Amino acid sequence: MDELKRLIDVVARLRSPTDGCPWDSVQTNMSIRHYLVEESGEYLDALEEGNDHAVMDELGDLLLQIVLNAQIAKDEGRFDIQDVARSEADKMIRRHPHVFGENAVKDKSEDALRSQWERIKHTETGYSERTSAMDGIPRHIPGLQRAQKVLSRASRTGFKWSSIDGVIGKVDEELSEVHEALQKGDDEALAEEIGDLFFALVGLCHWKGFQSEEVMQAAVRKYMTRFRAVEREFAEQGVDMKAAPIEELVAAWKRAKKTTK
């Protein structure tokens, strides 16, 4: 049996207004949009853990989101999963003339192929209408990732620091402005300056070729590992962390730093 067709049929049945699922049948593309982000995150977790069974399971959940969104569009007479697949296949063939075209590309370096990819994209509907390097950057992606895309686009136009000294200087400048806002007691200005500091730090990641979202995720994982070590220490002592003096918590944190490299 064609398992992909089976999944499509299952989703179509779930969407049936007469004998389907009451929840699935009333969903819209907008009402389920956040599930795509959630399932993507769970897939990435499984991938990092190296668990093939979980990776397969989470890819299935992602596929379900694609099939379900396409089925909703089909039910509304807009397009269906075949249109989605056809559009993507056509796009991949169009953007890879060095693979599917008649003329072989002499320079197949990463930079040359990326330039070719961008040139082809800008001839397509939607892309050709863009007037700014900032156009087309997704709004609904993590803030750090979006900031890095913004900086990447800007750098392609030549709008970038000439040396890392400028990048570090910007971080220092924004940090000093955070201190100034704190001293003034202006929370609105403080929130804005913290945002500018985050953006400057993303600029440092971009300069060094780091993915800011991955850098932040690594920092979060490190914090969680150390915090769990502190929790275990207090649990083994039979002490309630909430009742412990801050000095003891800090001391436990320092011990955790030494033991959770």
The arithmetic mean of pLDDT across residues 180-191, rounded, is 96
Q: What is the pLDDT of residues 21-53, one digit of tens each?
A: 999 999 999 999 989 989 999 999 999 899 999
In a domain, 100, yes or no: no
**Per-residue confidence (pLDDT) for residue 260, from 0 to 100:** 80
pLDDT at 72: 97
- Same domain as 198, residue 224: no
Residue 240 scores a pLDDT above 90:
yes
Per-residue pLDDT, 118: 75
Residues 88 and 148 in one domain: no
Averaged pLDDT score across all residues of the chain: 92
Mean pLDDT is lowest, of 128-137, 218-227, 251-260, for 128-137
Last residue of a domain, one of 193, 210, 227: 210
Q: What is the DSSP letter of 101?
A: S
Structure tokens at 108: 């197949």
Q: Is residue 227 domain-shared with residue 201, that is, in the same domain?
A: no
Separation CA 180–CA 59 (nearest Å):
47
Dihedral pair phi/psi, residue 20, rounded to 5°: -95, -160
Residue finishing a domain among 32, 64, 94: 94
- Residue 182 and residue 194 in contact, taking contact as beta carbons nearer than 8 Å: no
**Do residues 183 and 243 both lie within one domain?**
no
Quick one: 8 and 90 in the same domain? yes
| Planar angle of CA 173, 175, 178, nearest 5 degrees | 115
Q: What is the pTM of this model?
A: 0.69
DSSP summary character for residue 80: -
CATH of the domain at 199: 1.10.287.1080
- Of 129, 10, 2, 144, nearest to 67 by C-alpha is 10
Please report whether residue 29 resides in a domain: yes
- Indicate whether 204 belongs to any domain: yes
- The model's pLDDT over 86-124, given as tens digits with 9 standing for 90+, comes to 999 999 998 888 888 876 666 677 777 777 777 777 777
* Residue that finishes a domain, picked among 172, 192, 210: 210
Does residue 124 lie in a domain region?
A: no
Q: How many domains does the chain have?
A: 3
Selected residue with higher pLDDT from 244 and 124: 244
* Same-domain status, 166 and 244: no
130 is a domain residue: no
* 175 and 221 share one domain: no
Full domain range(s) for residue 180: 143-210
What pLDDT score does 177 carry?
97
